[in-house]
Structure 1
Amino acid sequence: MFSEKQLVVYPAQGVGEVERIESQEIGGTRADFYIVRILSNNVTLMVPVANAENVGLRSVCGADEGRLVLEGLKDRSDFMGYSGQNWNRRYREYSEKLKSGELDDVSYVLKELILIGRDKELSFGERRLLEQAMTLITMEIAYALGTQQDAVRKEIEEIFADILKRPGADEEDV
């Protein structure tokens, strides 16, 4: 069970804060709800307490796990590559991973798309998924480490500097 003011992660939305827990009667049945405000866009969600685990609501990772995720991005040995796989199939697979809300799944999508982008131009949908994964990862790790989201993004960009650097780009453009 989560408590008021606790930071939580809602799949595909990111970090939110439990503003309150309230009881409401719906269809003659009384149920408790977490009222969660997503910090990036101020959207408020009502999550049934009884269904919170099923929808993937979870606590923000700890600092140690956040650092492990950043370290894991450096390891490219598990990179499968796109090997000609249909972009639509990849898009569906990556969308499902982002919807899972699991930090490992989101970091997998981020790493895969950055590495695929090294070999070929990403489709519009893949670029959107890449940005969504980047936002989800940087937001959660920033809260876990008590730092700014921009600092985490910069650290990730440094991990992939050999890939993200465009020929002829200035350092400030990366």
Structure 2
Amino acid sequence: MFAQDQLVVYPAQGVGKVERIETQTVGGTEAEFYFIRILSNNVTLMVPVITASKVLRPLCTKEEGEALLSSLDDRSGFTGYTGQNWNRRYREYSDKLKSGALEDVAYVLKELLLIGKDKELSFGERRLLEQAMGLITLEIAHATDTTQEAVQTQIEEMFADVIAAQEKK
């Protein structure tokens, strides 16, 4: 399914590179594994080839990355901070980040940026925001052949009004 040197996405970890594919004996059973090096932290993961399609996904295309960036600028679906219980929101956002779906990660990023306009984000919310920003920017940077910093700057420019409001708090 995946080839050596291919970029893939591992949920909640981000973009990784298939370093090699080899057979290993684990628990007395031989199995083929992808060795994935996560680019953001250099951690290497062993993912069984047989279950890889349930865990890994290919990197988004350039068109998908550009469309996702454009969708971040659309605030029509956001109704504002509703005062929802932080624990419930935290679980929802954590689940979305773990799903690995780029749209889910974008949802978390946009929601937390916009909630931050109405209230100061808690430590946990800021961590989720940083995680979502890192996941989005790294994948889109690789998909569009640009830098992670350039993608983050583009997102920050879209939300300049929100970021300015947060800095006033």
Q: Which bracket does the TM-score occupy, shorter chain normalised?
A: over 0.9
Distance of 1:67 and 1:75 partners within structure 2: 13
Matched, 1:54 2:57: no
Secondary structure of 2:80's counterpart equals coil
Equivalent residues in 2 for 1:60-75, closer than 5 Å: 60-75=59-74
Map 1:33-112; keep pairs closer than 5 Å: 33-55=33-55, 57-112=56-111
Distance 1:137 1:168, change over 3 A: closer
| Contact 1:87–1:123 (8 Å) recurs in 2 | no
In the alignment, the residues of structure 1 paired with residue 47 and residue 161 of structure 2 have an alpha-carbon distance, to the nearest angstrom, of 42
Q: Deviations over 1:77-127 (max 9, x none)?
A: 112433110011100100000001110000000000000000011111010
The gaps in structure 1 that reach 5 residues or longer are: 170-174
TM-score (norm. length: structure 1) = 0.93
Of residues 24-33 and 63-72 in structure 1, the stretch that sits farther from structure 2 once superposed is 24-33
Offset at 1:166? 4.2
One-letter code aligned to 2:71: G
2:143 corresponding residue in structure 1: 144
**8 Å contact 2:9–2:100 — kept in the other structure?**
yes
Partner in structure 2 of residue 114 of structure 1: 113
Unpaired segments ≥5 residues, structure 2: none
Alignment root-mean-square deviation, CA: 1.4
After TM superposition, the runs of 4+ consecutive aligned structure 1 residues lying more than 3 A away are: 166-169
Tell me how many residue pairs correspond in the alignment: 168
User: How many angstroms apart in 2 are the aligned matches of 1:119 and 1:59?
Assistant: 36
Is the aligned partner of 1:31 residue 2:31? yes
Identity of aligned residues (%): 68
What residue in structure 2 maps to residue 172 of structure 1?
A: none
Q: For 1:165, what is the secondary structure of its paired residue?
A: helix
TM-score, scaled to structure 2: 0.95
CA distance in 1, matches of 2:52, 2:136: 21
1:27 Cα offset (Å): 2.3
Q: How far apart, in 2, do the equivalents of 1:152 and 1:26 lie?
A: 40
- Aligned: 1:6 with 2:6: yes
User: Are the aligned partners of 2:80 and 2:118 in contact in 1 as well (CA < 8 Å)?
Assistant: no
